Structure 1
Amino acid sequence: MMIKNNKPVRITLAHINDTHSYFEPQSLQLQLNIDGQSISPYVSNGGFSRIATRAKQLKATALQHDRDFIFVHAGDCFQGTLYFSLFKGKANSDMLNALGIDVMTIGNHELDMGNEPVAAFLDRIQFPLLAGNWDLSNEIKTKSHHLSGRSNLFSYQADKQTARWMTRVVDGEPVAIFGVSLDKMADIANVDPDTPFVNAFETAKNTVRAIRKLGINKIILVSHLGFDGDCELAKKVDGIGLIIGGHSHTLLGDFSDLGLKKESEYGHQVNGTYIVQAGFHSQALGHCDIDFAADGSVSTFKGKNELLIGRRLCIDASLLTANDDGIHAKASLYLTQHKNVVVCKKDPILQSLLQDKYIPRVHKLQNTVIAKLAEDMRHIRVPDLKGGSDIAPLVAESFAHMMNKNGHRVDFAIHNAGGVRTSLHRGNISIGDIAGKLLPFAVPIGVYRIKGKYIAQALEGAINNATNNGVLGSGSGSYPYTYNLNFSYYAQRPLGKRIAKLTIYTEEDGWKDIDHDMIYYGSSSAYTMKGKEGYEALTMMEGEGIITQHSMADCFIDFIQTDYKSSSREQWWYDKRI
C-alpha cells in the first residue's frame, strides 16, 4: 500500500550490542585526574540489571514527552562467559526477554555453533530477529532446525533481493526497520552451507529502494557490520536515517577523561545518516532522541552512550599520600556529575531472575571439582626447547573420545593451539576452570573423512602459518597439536615437502605410515574444518563433514570425568602427558 501523506515522528531509541553473555557487572578500572593527582579507582560496571533500570527510566521519560520508545540489540549476545558455555543460549533468551528488547539483529557469534542454536533461540525469544541478508531460500527442508518461514525471523527475500523489514507505526506514521550482518559470515562463523549470507551493501540498497517505493521514508538499519562497515554503507546507500551498529565493540563518545580511548563522536554522521554503537560486554547503554521530518530526513538528533556504574568507588589507599584527605569523596562526586556516567541501581526483577535461576548453577559448576592436577601443566603455542603444550594434545584426544562416544568413527584429531587459552596449575580443576578459562569459546567439534595427503598438507599449512615460514601468517595460534598422529617438520625444505615421517596409530597395527591416497576419519573444531589460518587442506575433505553440538569444553569435561574417574592412577594428568 502506497503511503501518500507523510508526517514527522519523534522516537527515543535505546541500544546495546556485543553483550556476549555478560549478565553480571564487571570490575572496571578508571583513570581520573582529581585536583591534579592521577588515581586509578575501580568501579562495578554494567550488567543486565543496571541496563534494565536505565532503560526503564528512559522509556518512562520518552512516554511522558509523547515519544515512541524502541529498545534495540545490534547482535552478538552469544559466547563470552560461562552463562553461554554452560547453557548454550537459553540464559541469553531468558535475560533478553526480561530486559524488554524490541528487536535484535543477528551477529556472527550467534552462528558459532551453526544454525541449530539460532533455531532454539528463536523458539524462546519474544522479539523479532533481523537477518536481512541471510538467504534461507535453498534451506534443506528436512532439517530438524528449519528456519525459513519463521514469523519472528526477518531474513532475505531472494525473489525480491531485499531484506524483509518490520514496520513500526509511530503516531500513525510507518517507520521501517531492517537488519543486515556480515556477508563474510561463512569465513568467521559456522552458518550451515545451505543458508549463506549475501552482499550486505546490495541488500541494504535494494531494501531502501523497495521501502521508499511504498512511500515509507523513515528508515532505521540495525547492523552487525562494525563501525567502519557502517560508515562505508552510509556512504554508498542513501535514505537511511539511523544505523544502530555492533561487531567492532566501539564505544562512541568522549570517555578520555575516564581513561578510556576515544573512538569517534556519538551519532557520527555520514551522508545524512547518523551512526551509533555502544561498546561491548554490557558496559554501557546508548540512547538517542531522533526526530524525522515529514520528508524522511533527520531534523533533530541528540544522544550519548552512558557507562552504568555502582555507587561504590574502590581506591588503593596505599597509593595515596597524607594530603589526599577527601580524594575519595571528590572522585565519587566527579563520576556522579559526569555527563557520560550514570550511577545506577540494579533492577530487582532482572536481578532476581539472574540470582534465582542462573547464578547458583554457574557458581556450583565453577566450584565442581572434576580432577586433581599433580603438577603444573604448561600450555605454549609453538614448541620451544622445553617442548610443546602439555594440554592441547589432550584436548585433541577429547574430541576423538566424545565423537566415538556418540557413534562417529575417528582415527585422528587435530586442534589448533590458539583454541587453548591458558596453562593449568597443580591442584583441583573445576568445570569453571575448563569452560571459563581453558576453553572459553563454545566452538563446535566436527568429524570428516579425508585423504592422507591432505592431512600432511593441513599440518604443514598450519605450522607455516604459525611460524610465518614462507607465508604471510596470521598468528601462532594455528600451530597444530594432534591425537594418534606423529610427524616431523623440516622448516628448510620447499613448500609442500616439509612434513615427513607422518604416521597414524591404530590399536590393530600400532604406528603405521599414512597412505596418501587412503581415506581416514578425523575430528577437529568447526573453525579449523573451514580451512582457517593455514588449514586450507582440510576443506579437501570428502563431502562437507558433520558439525556436532558438542563444544571444545563439552568434550574435554566429559573426557576428564570419564577417563580420569575410571582410572586408578593418582597422577592421571601426568601419565597422560607422558
Structure 2
Amino acid sequence: MIKKPVSHTAAVMLLALLLVSGCSSQPKTNSGVTLSIVHINDTHSQFDATPAKVKGPTGMPLYTYIGGHPRLLTKARQLQREATARGVASLFLHGGDAFKGSAYFEIFEQKINIDILNRMGIDAMALGNHEFDIGLDKLADFAENINFPLLAANVDNTAEPALAAVANLKAYQLFVLEGTELIAVKNITDTANKTAVAVFGLALENMRSMVPDTGQLVFAGEVSAAQATVDYLQAKGINHIIALTHLGYQRDINLAQQVNGIDVIVGGHSHSLLGNFSQWYLGQQAPYADNITNPDGLGVTCIVQAGQFAQAVGLAEVTFDNTGRLTQCQGENTLLASRDYFTLPLRSDNSRIAATEQLTVESYINRLQRTAITEENPELRQVLNQVYLPAVRQAYGEQISVTEQSISHVRLPGTDGSDQHGSVLAGHITDAMYYWLNMPAVRAKTGRQVDFALIGAGNIRANLEAGAIYEGHIRLEILPFDTPLSIVTLTGAELSELLLQVINATLPAGAHAGKFPYSSHLRYIAQEHASGQAVLQQLQWLDGERWQDIDPDTRYSLATTNYLANGNDGWQRLQQVQQQGTDRLDLIIEQQQLAIYPVKRVDAITDSSGQQAFVAHYQQAEGLPCKVAGNDCKVAAIAMIDYLKATPTLWQQARPATVTLLRR
C-alpha cells in the first residue's frame, strides 16, 4: 500500500503516475554499491561548440571554442568506459532544457533534439521549462520519440489531452544492477531480489508563472511530491534514489534540507557550473558535489550540476553502504576544450596561434584543472554537418554590423567573470527597444513616448561574438523567442517595488537569475545588505540629457517584453499593476505592418495545485496572432536589428552602465 503523500495534489499525481504495480515484495539489499553518474543540463540545443576565452600561458587571454554535442558524446562515452573498466556501473543523465537557444532549434525545433539526443545514450532527462517553448503538441512529439524517459514526478498530465497518453513522460525510471550495467526496467516487480536504482524527476512547481502554455497540466509542490515519491519507492524496497531536477541550485539545496531519502540530486535550470573555472573567465561557483544533511539528521544528499550550453560534463562517483545509505559522493565538472586557439576575439586565421606554439598551448590547457581537450565524435559531427548545417547557414540572412570584440551577456552582475554592472549586451538590447519604440513611425501609431526600457536577463540567450553580425545572430541566437514589445504605465513606487522584487529573488546562491532586470534610460544601484536583501541606493531616469530621481507618485511609460509585462518569471508586480485595468499596448508585426493590441487587464489565475498563470485580456482580440503565417512576433529582435543598422559605429563607443549591483 502506498504511503499517503503530503498533499492532496501530490496524491492525485502519484496515484496516476506511480501506481504501475501492486507488488509489495521487498528486494534484498546488497552491500557496497558504487555508481558513476555522468550528467549534463541546460544544453539549449547548442550542438556546435561555443566561443570562449582562457588565460593563456603568458597570462594573456586566448580565444577558442568549447563544448558542443559531439564533444559531449566523446567525453560521456569515455567516462562510462572508464567506469566499466573499474567495475562500476554508470548512468548518463540530462537535467533538462534541451530546447531553445540556437539557430538549429529555431529551424528544426524538437526534431533535431530527438535525432541528436537519441544518438547519445542518455538514460533519463528532467522536464525543463524551455521544453514548453514551442507548445504542448511538439513537447508530446519529443517525449514520444526520444529513446529515454522524460521525468517529472510532480506533474499530473491526466487532464491534458496532448500529453495524457504519452507513456514516456513519467514520474520515475527504475534500473537494476547486472554486473557493471544498470538495466532499465518497467515495473517494480522487475526489481525483486535485485539491487535497484530509481531516478525520479522534478519540474518547477511554479511552471505556470514562467511558461505561457501549460494547458491542463497540474504541477504539485516540489518538496511534497519528492517526499511522497521517495516514501513510495522505499516502501517497495528501493533505497538507491536519485532526483533528476530542473529547479535551480538553491532550490535543490532547499529540497535536500526538507526531504529525507534522496541520495543524489542531479540538477539544472540555474546553469550552475560548480567548481572554480576562473581560468576560463567563468568565475567560481559553489564546490562540486555539495553534501546536505537531511531533516532527519541522518541522511545526506549530494547535489551536482554541470553548467550550460553543452560546455562541460559532470561526473559524480557515489558509494552506498549495505542499507542503501549514501556514504561518499565526489567528482567534478570537466570543461570540454578544443585544439583551436587564437590571439584575437575575431578568431580569424591570421590570429591563430603559430604552429610552433601549438604543443605548448595544448600541454598548458591539458594541465588546467577541470579541463580536457576533447575531440568531437566524428559520426555526430557528420550528421550535423550534412543534415542540419546547410539550412542553418542559409537562415542567417544579410550582414548588418561587425564587431572586433565579443559583447558579453551574463545573467547576474558579478558572475561568470563579469563586474558589478553585469551584461554589456543586455544594455544595448534595452537601448534598441527604447530607440525603436520612440521612432517617429512607431510613435505615430502608439501615441506614446517611452521613458525607459527593461528586459530580463533570461530573454537573451547568447553572447554577441566578435566578427560579422548577421540578422540570424539576433533572431536565431540572441533573441530567439517570440517577444512582442509592451508599453505600460506605472508609478515610480511600483517601479521600485518591481525592481526590488526581481533583484532580491536572484541574490541567493544558485538562484535562477534569468529574471534579473537590465535597463535603458533608467539607472539604479542595488546594495545587498547582510540580510541577503537589497535596497535601491539610486533610481533615476534620463529625462532628455539629465538624470532625474524617480518620483514615487509620478507615472512613467515603461517598455518591456509582453512575457514580462504579463508578470511571468517573477515580475508579478507588473501583473498586479494591471489587474484592475491597464493602458498597456502590445506591438507585433502583422503582414509586414506594425499592429497594436491594447490590453484591458492581466489576470492571475490559480489552478488546483495553487500555482498561478498570468493571462492578458485584449480589448479587441482573444490573443496575439503570433502563429499566423506572415506575422512576426520577434519584435525585440526586429528592434535590435533596426538599431544596429541605424548605429553602425555602436560597438566602437563605450556604453555607460545603467545597472550596478553591489554585493556584500
What TM-score comes out, normalization by structure 2 length?
Answer: 0.61
Q: 1:231 aligns with which of 253, 257, 264?
A: 253
Q: 1:28 aligns with which of 52, 57, 81?
A: 52
1:199–1:498 Cα change, 3 Å: same
Q: 1:432 aligns with which of 472, 482, 493?
A: 472
Task: Select between 276-285 and 181-190 the one with higher mean Cα deviation.
Answer: 181-190
Instruction: Provide the rounded CA distance (Å) in 2 between the counterparts of 1:545 and 1:359.
Output: 38
Structure 1 match to 2:481 = 442
1:495-546 alpha-carbon deviations (Å, 9 max, x no partner): 6x9489xxxxxxxxxxxxxxxxxxxxxxx84553456462442424559955
Structure 2 match to 1:249 = 271
Q: Is the 8 A contact 2:263 2:326 kept in 1?
A: yes
Q: 1:117 aligns with which of 138, 144, 155?
A: 138
1:277–1:557 Cα change, 3 Å: closer
Q: Is the 8 A contact 2:152 2:172 kept in 1?
A: no
Q: 1:196 aligns with which of 209, 215, 218?
A: 218
Structure 2 match to 1:534 = 574
1:287-338 alpha-carbon deviations (Å, 9 max, x no partner): 1222322211123433221111112333359xxxxxx998764443122233
Structure 1 match to 2:390 = 360
Alignment partner of 1:43: what SS? strand
Q: Whose Rg is larger? A: 1
Q: 1:314 aligns with which of 314, 318, 342?
A: 342
Matches within 5 A, 1:334-345: 334-345=364-375
Matches within 5 A, 1:14-413: 14-32=38-56, 34=57, 37-139=58-160, 141=161, 146-154=162-170, 164-171=171-178, 172-271=194-293, 272-315=300-343, 329-367=359-397, 381=430, 388-390=434-436
In the alignment, residue 259 of structure 2 is paired with which amino acid?
A: V
CA RMSD of aligned residues (A): 4.5
Instruction: Provide the rounded CA distance (Å) in 2 between the counterparts of 1:418 and 1:211.
Output: 43
Alignment partner of 2:282: what SS? coil
1:263-304 alpha-carbon deviations (Å, 9 max, x no partner): 122211111111111111111011122232221112343322
Instruction: Provide the rounded CA distance (Å) in 2 between the counterparts of 1:354 and 1:394.
Output: 44
Instruction: Provide the rounded CA distance (Å) in 1 between the counterparts of 2:263 and 2:497.
Output: 48
Alignment partner of 1:418: what SS? strand
**Structure 1: gaps spanning 5 or more residues:** 155-163, 318-323, 371-377, 401-411, 447-454, 481-490, 501-523, 562-572
Alignment partner of 2:214: what SS? coil
Alignment partner of 2:38: what SS? strand
Q: Is the 8 A contact 1:268 1:275 kept in 2?
A: yes
In the alignment, residue 441 of structure 1 is paired with which amino acid?
A: P
Matches within 5 A, 1:390-539: 390=436, 418=455, 432-436=472-476, 440-443=479-482, 459-461=488-490, 464=492, 468=496, 472=500, 474=502, 475=517, 498=555, 525-530=562-567, 532=571, 534-536=574-576, 537=578, 538-539=601-602
Instruction: Provide the rounded CA distance (Å) in 2 between the counterparts of 1:444 and 1:115.
Output: 19
Alignment partner of 2:198: what SS? strand
Q: Is the 8 A contact 2:264 2:302 kept in 1?
A: yes
Instruction: Provide the rounded CA distance (Å) in 2 between the counterparts of 1:394 and 1:63.
Output: 66
1:137–1:58 Cα change, 3 Å: same
1:107 Cα deviation from its structure 2 partner: 1.2
Instruction: Provide the rounded CA distance (Å) in 1 between the counterparts of 2:362 and 2:210.
Output: 42
1:11 Cα deviation from its structure 2 partner: 2.1
In the alignment, residue 38 of structure 1 is paired with which amino acid?
A: G
Structure 1 match to 2:404 = none
**Structure 2: gaps spanning 5 or more residues:** 1-23, 179-193, 294-299, 346-353, 401-426, 503-516, 523-548, 579-600, 604-615, 639-644, 647-664
1:559 Cα deviation from its structure 2 partner: 13
What TM-score comes out, normalization by structure 1 length?
Answer: 0.70
Q: Is the 8 A contact 2:617 2:623 kept in 1?
A: no
1:469–1:476 Cα change, 3 Å: farther
1:212 Cα deviation from its structure 2 partner: 0.6
Alignment partner of 1:11: what SS? strand
Q: Is the 8 A contact 1:18 1:282 kept in 2?
A: yes
Instruction: Provide the rounded CA distance (Å) in 2 between the counterparts of 1:131 and 1:316.
Output: 44
Q: Is the 8 A contact 1:464 1:471 kept in 2?
A: no
Instruction: Provide the rounded CA distance (Å) in 1 between the counterparts of 2:387 and 2:364.
Output: 36
Q: Is the 8 A contact 2:492 2:550 kept in 1?
A: no
Q: 1:6 aligns with which of 9, 18, 29?
A: 29
Q: Is the 8 A contact 2:241 2:262 kept in 1?
A: yes
Instruction: Provide the rounded CA distance (Å) in 2 between the counterparts of 1:94 and 1:288.
Output: 27
1:240-265 alpha-carbon deviations (Å, 9 max, x no partner): 11110111111112334444322122
1:129-169 alpha-carbon deviations (Å, 9 max, x no partner): 01111222433x4xxxx102321001xxxxxxxxx322111
1:347–1:200 Cα change, 3 Å: same
Instruction: Provide the rounded CA distance (Å) in 2 between the counterparts of 1:553 and 1:467.
Output: 35
1:99 Cα deviation from its structure 2 partner: 1.9
1:216 Cα deviation from its structure 2 partner: 0.8
Instruction: Provide the rounded CA distance (Å) in 1 between the counterparts of 2:357 and 2:518.
Output: 45
1:120 Cα deviation from its structure 2 partner: 2.5
Alignment partner of 1:539: what SS? strand
1:359-388 alpha-carbon deviations (Å, 9 max, x no partner): 111001113689xxxxxxx977479xxx94
Instruction: Provide the rounded CA distance (Å) in 2 between the counterparts of 1:535 and 1:86.
Output: 32
Q: Is the 8 A contact 2:567 2:574 kept in 1?
A: no
Task: Select between 209-218 and 191-200 the one with higher mean Cα deviation.
Answer: 191-200
1:118–1:102 Cα change, 3 Å: same
Task: Select between 90-99 and 256-265 the one with higher mean Cα deviation.
Answer: 256-265
1:74 Cα deviation from its structure 2 partner: 0.1
1:44-70 alpha-carbon deviations (Å, 9 max, x no partner): 211100111111112222233333221
In the alignment, residue 2 of structure 1 is paired with which amino acid?
A: S
1:471 Cα deviation from its structure 2 partner: 7.7
1:295–1:92 Cα change, 3 Å: same
Q: Is the 8 A contact 1:71 1:101 kept in 2?
A: yes
Q: Is the 8 A contact 1:107 1:224 kept in 2?
A: yes
Task: Select between 182-191 and 124-133 the one with higher mean Cα deviation.
Answer: 182-191
Q: Is the 8 A contact 2:256 2:262 kept in 1?
A: yes
